[in-house]
């Protein structure tokens, strides 16, 4: 490609905030956040990562072509696959096909839709089609191999820029508009218990590839730690784990994390205070006990619950408080609002309940009633539909009425002695 810059640097050097991307959450396999699956820099050979009782081999091999050695996956590929997953319909199943406008894809990926970003992103998607992941169960020694993307659909349109020399030629501007996930990866996304959420806008807002790689998996190690008892890892070990070149001298390793540039803040500053699903990620540096290296100290700080107007003004909240339950329990429940699971969505569909327009209501209800009770009510609604019991108005109204009754049921306080 003419005048092609390194994709990893291009997509991180000037991600201008030209388009405001609304915060969003994507769901991906949990192992991608429990270990350094995605390298911090380009890695031509294979990488081996042990996560629990599984050994991951990423890149450097092709199961069908012995003459092809695709690169290991790095944070460019992570951004691409997470961006792609953000276009999945969370409350419906569009199968393995994910459709999108390529301009929108570029905005979510790099907060820009400039031509060089488009070209770089297409290169990255191409590498995702060639790169495979092999996962071996260390107990059974059984291995399975898969790739993330099977197919892409590309449409061509005539180049319309008047200042382009190629506009006079019979050339077209190629744009992606559909990607088909592999069967194996699609099946992984259906295993709800093995998935974890990621704040995409926070991840793509990080400028440094090294900081991105650290943000993907270190918070999972830090979530149960505090400032007084942080998770610790030496800079040498950390850099080795994310496949980043380790500076020879201790002072240079410190400088890597603390030095500012004209375009970017220091990595330590880019990481400190980032929001996660569990709280705010905190980091600081300290010398190791033997003085031979520096170490990264990390923990996750709880954040006060944000007041969401859709929650504060909900009739469910009013009913909950009027039932006699304390405000503290309400705040605790609302801090744990989670998206509906695929299982719950399937139940609502079979119950003939309109869930798309009432999604937020059901999410709040699930948090207030707890998952088991909420799922019980939805399963009951499915049973009514399957057995032909007609609702007075419609199945949606009937379920909402039952939920309101359950949320507003008075608490049974202990009798005074």
Assigned token pair, 13: 């050097």
Element (H, E) at 153: strand 149-158
**How many residues are there in the chain?**
417
Q: Where are the domains of the chain?
A: 7-204, 228-301, 309-408
What pLDDT is recorded for position 103? 79
- 355: three-class secondary structure by DSSP: coil
pLDDT in tens, 72-127: 999 999 999 999 998 886 545 567 888 888 778 888 887 655 556 677 888 888 89
CA distances from 128 to 54, 118, 291, 303, 379 (A): 22, 15, 41, 36, 39
The residue among 118 and 162 whose pLDDT is bigger is 118
| Torsion angle of the four alpha carbons 136, 139, 141, 144, in this order, in degrees rounded to the nearest 10 | -30
Q: Supply the DSSP symbol for 167.
A: G
Average the pLDDT over each of 37-46, 208-217, 312-321 and give the range with the smallest value. Answer: 312-321
Contact 117, 131 (CB under 8 A): no
pLDDT of 244 higher than 80: yes
Contact 89, 24 (CB under 8 A): no
Average the pLDDT over each of 146-150, 154-158, 230-234 and give the range with the smallest value. Answer: 154-158
What pLDDT is recorded for position 358? 85
pLDDT of 136 higher than 60: yes
Measured over the CA atoms of residue 27, residue 30, residue 31 and residue 35, the dihedral's sign is positive
Measured over the CA atoms of residue 369, residue 373, residue 377 and residue 378, the dihedral's sign is positive
In the sheet that holds 97-99, the strands lie side by side as 97-99, 172-181, 149-158
Contact 86, 94 (CB under 8 A): no
Element (H, E) at 76: helix 75-85
The model's pTM: 0.68
The mean per-residue pLDDT over the stretch 235-263 comes to: 92
- 143: three-class secondary structure by DSSP: strand
The mean per-residue pLDDT over the stretch 200-216 comes to: 93
Mention every residue, 6+ apart, whose C-beta is less than 8 A from residue 195: 27, 28, 29, 30, 189
> What percent of the chain stands above pLDDT 70?
81
CA distances from 207 to 5, 129, 136, 220 (A): 17, 25, 33, 21
**Helices and strands: H and E segment counts in the chain:** 18, 13
Average the pLDDT over each of 61-70, 94-103, 363-372, 381-390 and give the range with the smallest value. Answer: 94-103
CA distances from 232 to 211, 218, 251, 275 (A): 16, 10, 19, 20
Q: Pairing mode, if any, of strands 133-137 and 274-275?
A: unpaired
The residue among 72 and 159 whose pLDDT is bigger is 72
Place of tokens 């070990």: 237
């Amino acid at each position: 490609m003419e005048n092609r810059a390194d994709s990893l640097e291009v997509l991180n050097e000037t991600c201008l905030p030209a388009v405001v991307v609304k915060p969003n959450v994507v769901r991906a396999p949990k192992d991608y956040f429990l270990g350094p699956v995605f390298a911090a820099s380009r890695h031509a050979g294979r990488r081996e990562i042990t996560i629990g009782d599984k050994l991951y081999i990423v890149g450097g091999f092709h199961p069908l072509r012995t003459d092809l050695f695709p690169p290991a996956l790095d944070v460019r590929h992570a951004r691409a696959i997470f961006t792609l997953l953000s276009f999945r319909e969370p409350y419906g199943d569009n199968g393995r096909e994910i459709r999108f406008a390529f301009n929108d894809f570029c905005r979510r990926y790099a907060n820009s839709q400039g031509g060089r970003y488009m070209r770089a992103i297409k290169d990255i998607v191409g590498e995702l089609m060639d790169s495979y992941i092999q996962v071996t169960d260390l107990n059974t020694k059984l291995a399975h191999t898969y790739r993330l993307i099977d197919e892409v659909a590309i449409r061509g349109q005539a180049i319309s820029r008047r200042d382009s020399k190629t506009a006079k030629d019979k050339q077209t501007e190629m744009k992606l508009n559909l990607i088909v996930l592999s069967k194996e990866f699609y099946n992984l996304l259906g295993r709800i218990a093995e998935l974890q959420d990621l704040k995409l806008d926070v991840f793509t807002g990080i400028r440094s590839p090294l900081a991105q790689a650290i943000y993907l998996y270190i918070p999972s190690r830090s979530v149960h730690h505090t400032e007084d008892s942080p998770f610790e890892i030496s800079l040498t070990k950390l850099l080795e784990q994310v496949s980043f070149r380790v500076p020879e001298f201790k002072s240079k390793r410190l400088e890597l994390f603390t030095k500012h540039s004209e375009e970017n803040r220091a990595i330590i500053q880019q990481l400190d205070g980032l929001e996660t699903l569990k709280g705010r990620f905190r980091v600081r540096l300290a010398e190791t006990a033997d003085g031979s290296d520096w170490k990264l100290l990390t923990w996750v700080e709880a954040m006060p619950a944000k007041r969401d107007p859709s929650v504060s003004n909900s009739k469910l909240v009013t009913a909950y408080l009027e039932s006699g339950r304390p405000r503290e329990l309400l705040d605790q429940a609302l801090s744990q609002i989670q998206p509906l699971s695929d299982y719950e969505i399937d139940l609502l569909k079979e119950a003939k309940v309109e869930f798309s327009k009432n999604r937020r209501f059901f999410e709040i209800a699930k948090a207030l009633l707890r998952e088991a009770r909420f799922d019980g009510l939805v399963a009951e609604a499915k049973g009514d539909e399957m057995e032909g019991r007609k609702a007075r108005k419609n199945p949606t109204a009937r379920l909402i009425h039952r939920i309101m009754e359950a949320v507003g049921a008075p608490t049974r306080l202990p009798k005074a002695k």
